[in-house]
Amino acid sequence: MSRFIGRDESWLDFNRRVLEEAQAATNPLLERVKFLAITASNLDEFVEIRIASLLQRIEDGYSETDEQGVTLEQSLAAINEDMHGFVDSQYVCWNKQLLPALHSAGVRVLAWDAMDDAAREAASNFYQREVDPLLTPITIDPAHPFPRVLNKALCIALLLRRKRKGTAGPVLGVVTIPRALPRLVALPSGAGTQDYLFLHDLIERNAAAMYRGYEILSKAAFRVTRNSNLYFQEEESRNLLETVRAELHNRRKGDAVRLEIEKSADAEIVDRLRMNFELDESQVFRTDGPVNLSRLMNLYSDTPRPDLKYSPFVPRELRLNRKSVDLFDELRHRDVLLHHPYDSYDGVVGFIQSAARDPNVVSIKQTLYRTSADSTIFNALTEAAQSKEVTVVVELTARFDEASNIRWARDLEDAGVQVFHGIVGLKTHCKLALLVRHDPDGVTRRYGHLGTGNYNPATARFYTDLSLLTSDPEITASMHAVFNYLTAHSESSDYSPLLVAPLTLAESFIRLIHRETEHAAAGRPAQIIAKMNSLLETGIVEALYAASQAGVQIDLIVRGICSLRPGVKGMSENIRVRSIIGRFLEHSRIFFFRNGGQEEIYCGSADWMPRNLFERCEVVFPIRDAQIGARIRKEILAALMADNMKARVLEASGIYRRITPPDARQAGFSAQDFFIQVAEGKASPDNIPPITSDQPGNAAKRGSPKRASRG
């Protein structure tokens, strides 16, 4: 058995866990549709980045093998086989489970023949008014070469034959479905129903009018996925912003890496498309239903059926101590931890807005990795630039957000903000905001926000993240040094108490793991609990194996990729791994070390992956406030470890299994549902059930020294 689980194998397993949520009848029906759409979107990114990268390496002549001697070609073949099976499972879920259940619930996706006269008339009118003016039908012949099909654009291929006698054989027609139009056309519905028609079905129905003089022999919807990696040499670029903008244009035209087409497609259509896009048969995915299941997200968002969705909840607002004059006064005496989305993200927005409007704040520095189109934080920063020094580090190469980040950067500069793009060769992935304020007591202080998630109020509603607001002078001084590193490449040998990638983070994590190993060897309390999105860094994994062999109890909560193989006798028998897939995307990173009884907790923006540790600027920060440490340990981590409904456990074989289903002896417990109840005042940490033998880890008592109040 290999010491490591393959990266791609592990990622595909993660997407299967998301698909399980679409298959689970215990989830609300439209939420299941959303989970299915997410699996399709996830697979798109995997194909256009990971598969494209493997193909590129093969074409470039790389011949490396993994630890078991598997070549790149063999690996790609296995992944393709796995993906084909996964796509089949997606369509079984849609056709056999979700579609019938939706129809029973009165949400109907209809074929033309199943529509009544009123619905057909409405659809035809919509086509003539909104659709037909945007269509450009093309026939492939010597005068009309194959059109440049854009990345992931939904198209219709038609096999055509001239009606005029004596003409040549069949030709191919292509119609690109405009992205400006809704993927689902709402139809007039009867009482108790919400009816839709797929846009491509409507266009196919009217195809004859676009190809007058032709007989349509066959037609099928298809979609091409292209290589979406950005290829540019930053060190050769005089202007990084312009270089990224140019490469975004090229991305839309990258080499094809996948063809999706309806299973009913005529073999001649498939062959012509495959030859045009220069694809092997293994790169053709025949779908038993609508091409591009990610567009089912529109079905979720457009259908006003709250009874088929998760019940809404109101996040807990940040409440100040009654003695505090404002948030800054509060932070002079204690740190504040926000657990999103259960604690409202308005607390973070308010921190930035208060800084923008407070005349005593003289400087704001912030990093931006991903933002939202209507960001209140952006507005606050542009407002602040009118009266104070504002510096923003914008990461231009945040994958698939490059175009929006370019717009942000230009708009910020136009407003008077000093905009930087970080360090050449490194993505700026840390989440930092630092303020300088002349306080009423005559002291100039720094106030900081450090987070595990992006400054994006939109995604903060469904990503779980942690935010720390603090005026700790050591932490904020280190934040200042990090900003100097980002804007001037001014390196320091020590950023403590912060851990900073690529400078100190990797070696610090390994040192912390080794310290637990030494504690265990000396008979002192030793334990590690680490929560993250992905675990892939070999050095970290080997350090964890060594700690396990020394007797350290290690519990890992890893949402996605995990290359560590747990539970192997003599190697990792003291390591347990769980993954939680639920209503919210688990995104927070938390690292707990028992440290012989002097417990330490760190949070931050970094996963245990090579890219986070060596190819990005990341910041991991300590939790120094005893009450916050207790909350993270006894409430947040304890609940995640006790989850027996949304958690899956990774076995040594690499297979994830659900925890033993709840029975009469043990009630079901969902950590995310529990956090909602806590936010609504309906539960307390005392309601967390004990961890059973079938679940990884055991709760440990919390006892960190309390940090003194700051004056």
What is the average pLDDT score of the chain?
90
Q: Which two tokens stand for residue 490?
A: 């001014």
Handedness of CA 529, 532, 536, 538 (dihedral sign): negative
Residues 6+ apart with CB under 8 A from 586: 464, 531, 533, 557, 559, 580
Residue 321: inside a domain, yes or no? no
Residue 707: inside a domain, yes or no? no
Report the alpha-carbon distance of residue 697 to residue 86 in Å, rounded: 32
**570 and 540 Cβ atoms separated by less than 8 Å:** no
DSSP assignments along 485-551, one per residue: HHHH----S--TTSEEETTTHHHHHHHHHHHHHHHHHTTS--EEEEEES-B--HHHHHHHHHHHHTT
Is the per-residue pLDDT at 639 higher than 90?
Answer: yes
Report the alpha-carbon distance of residue 478 to residue 484 in Å, rounded: 10
**Which domain does 592 fall in, by range?**
499-687
Among the candidates 431, 457, 488, a domain finishes at: 488
In percent, how much of the chain has pLDDT > 90? Answer: 76
Q: What are phi and psi for residue 124, nearest 5 degrees?
A: -65, -40
> Which of 67 and 30 is assigned the larger pLDDT?
30
Give how far Cα 676 sits from Cα of 217, 310, 460, Å.
55, 12, 14
Residue 494: inside a domain, yes or no? no
- Across the range 420-436, mean pLDDT stands at 90
Looking at residue 493, its pLDDT comes to: 81
Segment (H or E) for 392: strand 389-394
Q: Which stretches within 186-339 are classed as H helix?
A: 199-205, 207-210, 240-251, 267-277, 297-302, 327-331
Handedness of CA 691, 693, 694, 695 (dihedral sign): positive
Among the candidates 449, 464, 488, a domain finishes at: 488
Residue 607: inside a domain, yes or no? yes
Is the per-residue pLDDT at 404 higher than 70?
Answer: no
> How many C-beta atoms surround the C-beta of residue 400 within 10 A?
13
Q: Is residue 104 packed enough to be buried (19+ CB in 10 Å), middle (13-18) or exposed (0-12)?
A: exposed
E runs forming strands in 41-170:
107-109, 138-139, 154-162
Same domain, 447 and 582: no
**373 and 670 Cβ atoms separated by less than 8 Å:** no
Looking at residue 164, its pLDDT comes to: 81
**601 and 632 Cβ atoms separated by less than 8 Å:** yes
Residue 692: inside a domain, yes or no? no
Is the per-residue pLDDT at 220 higher than 60?
Answer: yes
Q: Which stretches within 389-504 are classed as H helix?
A: 402-414, 473-488
Same domain, 119 and 226: yes
Return the half-sphere exposure (C-beta side, CA atoms, 13 A cut-off) of residue 137: 20
The pLDDT tens digits of the residues spanning 477-515 come to: 999 999 999 999 888 888 999 999 999 999 999 999 999
In terms of average pLDDT, the best of 179-183, 236-240, 683-687 is 179-183
Name the band, by pLDDT with cuts 50, 70 and 90, for residue 397. low
- Across the range 27-42, mean pLDDT stands at 98
Looking at residue 251, its pLDDT comes to: 43
Report the alpha-carbon distance of residue 573 to residue 292 in Å, rounded: 42
Looking at residue 68, its pLDDT comes to: 72
In percent, how much of the chain has pLDDT > 70? Answer: 90
**537 and 544 Cβ atoms separated by less than 8 Å:** no
Mean pLDDT lowest for which of 78-82, 396-400, 599-603?
Answer: 396-400
Same domain, 96 and 43: yes
Residue indicated by tokens 């074409």: 59
- Is 429 catalytic? The answer is yes
Residue indicated by tokens 């256009």: 48
Q: Considering just the CA atoms, what is the radius of gyration of the chain in Å?
A: 27
Question: Which residue in 421, 429, 519, 587 is the catalytic one?
Answer: 429
Same domain, 389 and 279: no
Q: How many domains are there within the chain?
A: 3
Looking at residue 371, its pLDDT comes to: 66
User: What letter does residue 688 receive in the DSSP assignment?
Assistant: P
Candidates 167, 170, 135, 160; CA nearest to 214 is 160
Same domain, 565 and 664: yes
**259 and 274 Cβ atoms separated by less than 8 Å:** yes
- Across the range 194-205, mean pLDDT stands at 96
Looking at residue 65, its pLDDT comes to: 80
Same domain, 244 and 361: no
Q: Is residue 605 packed enough to be buried (19+ CB in 10 Å), middle (13-18) or exposed (0-12)?
A: buried
Residue indicated by tokens 């931006």: 368
Strand partners, 555: 529, 576
CATH number for 583? 3.30.870.10
- Across the range 535-559, mean pLDDT stands at 98
Name the band, by pLDDT with cuts 50, 70 and 90, for residue 249. very low
Same domain, 461 and 333: yes
Looking at residue 676, its pLDDT comes to: 97
Looking at residue 242, its pLDDT comes to: 52
E runs forming strands in 144-206:
154-162, 171-176, 184-187, 194-198
Same domain, 302 and 414: no
Report the alpha-carbon distance of residue 569 to residue 556 in Å, rounded: 18
> Which of 6 and 67 is assigned the larger pLDDT?
6
Among the candidates 448, 467, 488, a domain finishes at: 488
Same domain, 417 and 304: no
Residue 315: inside a domain, yes or no? no
**430 and 398 Cβ atoms separated by less than 8 Å:** no
Same domain, 432 and 520: no
The pLDDT tens digits of the residues spanning 282-309 come to: 999 999 999 999 999 999 999 999 999 9
Mean pLDDT lowest for which of 309-313, 331-335, 455-459, 647-651?
Answer: 455-459
Same domain, 483 and 506: no
- Across the range 411-417, mean pLDDT stands at 87
Is the per-residue pLDDT at 389 higher than 70?
Answer: yes
The pLDDT tens digits of the residues spanning 317-334 come to: 999 999 999 999 999 999
Is the per-residue pLDDT at 268 higher than 70?
Answer: yes
Report the alpha-carbon distance of residue 290 to residue 293 in Å, rounded: 7
Looking at residue 1, its pLDDT comes to: 76
Report the alpha-carbon distance of residue 344 to residue 318 in Å, rounded: 7
**536 and 563 Cβ atoms separated by less than 8 Å:** yes
**391 and 566 Cβ atoms separated by less than 8 Å:** no
CATH number for 150? 3.30.1840.10
The pLDDT tens digits of the residues spanning 113-172 come to: 999 999 999 999 999 999 999 999 999 977 778 888 889 999 999 999 988 876 678 999
Mean pLDDT lowest for which of 56-60, 124-128, 412-416, 698-702?
Answer: 698-702
Residue 681: inside a domain, yes or no? yes
- Across the range 593-607, mean pLDDT stands at 97
The amino acid present at 559, given as its one-letter code, is R
Mean pLDDT lowest for which of 73-87, 165-179, 513-527?
Answer: 165-179
Residue 224: inside a domain, yes or no? yes
Residue indicated by tokens 């059926």: 305
Same domain, 225 and 289: yes
